[in-house]
Structure 1
Amino acid sequence: MKNELEQLLKEYMDKATETDLRAMAHVLKGMKNKIEGKSTTYIGGILHYEKNPDESVWELTVPINPALYNSLGIVHGGITATLADSAMGTLANTLVPEGYGAVTSQLNIHYLAPGIGDTLRCRAEIAHQGRNTMVVSAEVFRKDGKKAAQATGSFFIVEKKVSSGE
């Protein structure tokens, strides 16, 4: 696997534009963050989440980089949805009892403006907290303050199972 990856990286480096290199550096730094324990998930590492937790509100900020672009050169809608889902899910998971987790059962997102600029910041807060479900709302803002998306998510509260895999 290591030789195959080295070959792939060499081929990439030989053909990459400056934009390609910026995108790859972003992804590799994120993977390094995961390996070093600075991020608990690969997606969190790749997106370079900066967390700003509060008791009832959770904020995540991500730097915008070409690795996150769609074919129009703006942040891909799936990245915006992932940011909202991650902020809402992280908040939900901070509120469940020990031994339980919150998993997304429904995600609704309304895109309001293109994801452009230096960063996207998502602010999530609880709309409803029950024994078996939660509803969380989120807003995603560009660095210029313009709201890029509005989202809601429903979450099931489930008992964590002991994993035998990685």
Structure 2
Amino acid sequence: MTDDRAHDGVRTKTVHWNDPMATAELSRSLSGRDFLTKWMHGDLPGAPICELMGFRLAEVAEGEVAFTCTPDESVYNPIGMVHGGLACTVLDSAAGCAVHSTLPAGFGYSSIEIKVSFLRPIQAYDGDIVARGWVTKPGKRVSFAEADLRDAHGMVLATASSSCLIVPV
């Protein structure tokens, strides 16, 4: 992804991604934790949404993950701060991938509910923000997870609770 700031005020952003269906096919033979670990290490392509919104899988453990993101102006709302949709998306990814890290090969998840509380505004270029997700109750049909989003100083920016449907893939 490139961020080209022009002098006339117009900015451009180029996004590159891999075929998500090819990655999904590869994931079917891996446990969720193995899949996420391969993605984090660059052995498998990541999710296109991560490329689009500029976040990266940074940590994977059983029932826990972390994503980092350095927001830029391309995710601003019209009043000059990072749109809540970025926070919601990275929190949804953190909670969902925490659930995914507990699943055996042949299973995936789909978010069925998320509640996000926005606590503080987020500004571009203020350093990395980190979304950590963890499973609060695993299940065979539905799992529950929580996540928080913090700035570089550890200040909580937003929190989320999520329910994920477990599905065969």
* TM-score, normalised by the number of residues in structure 2: 0.74
Match of 1:68 in 2: 75
Counterpart of 2:100 in structure 1: which amino acid?
A: N
User: What is the CA distance between 1:71 and its match in structure 2?
Assistant: 1.3
Matched-pair contact (CA < 8 Å) for 1:57–1:126 = yes
Q: Which amino acid aligns with 1:112?
A: L
Kept after mapping to 1: 8 A contact 2:66/2:133: yes
Counting aligned pairs with the same residue, the percent is 22
Code of the residue aligned with 2:62 in structure 1: it is E
After superposition, give the CA deviation of every residue in 1:131-157 in whole Å (9 maximum; x if it has no partner): 111000001001232111010100000
Q: Distance in 1 between matches of 2:130 and 2:117?
A: 15
How many equivalent residue pairs? 140
Which has the larger Rg? 1
8 Å contact 2:112–2:165 — kept in the other structure?
yes
Q: 1:136 to 1:18 in 2, by over 3 A?
A: farther
Aligned-partner Cα distance in 1 for 2:141–2:8: 49
In structure 2, distance between residues paired with 1:55 and 1:18: 48
CA RMSD of aligned residues (A): 2.4
Deviations 1:66-95 (A, max 9, x none): 111111221110110000001111121121
Structure 1, unaligned stretches of length 5 or more? 1-12, 161-166
Separation (CA, whole Å) in 2 of partners of 1:128 and 1:19: 48
Task: Name the CA distance, whole Å, in 2 between partners of 1:19 and 1:44.
Answer: 25
Q: Which runs of 5+ in 2 are unaligned?
A: 20-38
Structure 2: how far apart are the matches of 1:75 and 1:88?
20
1:118 aligns with 2:127: yes
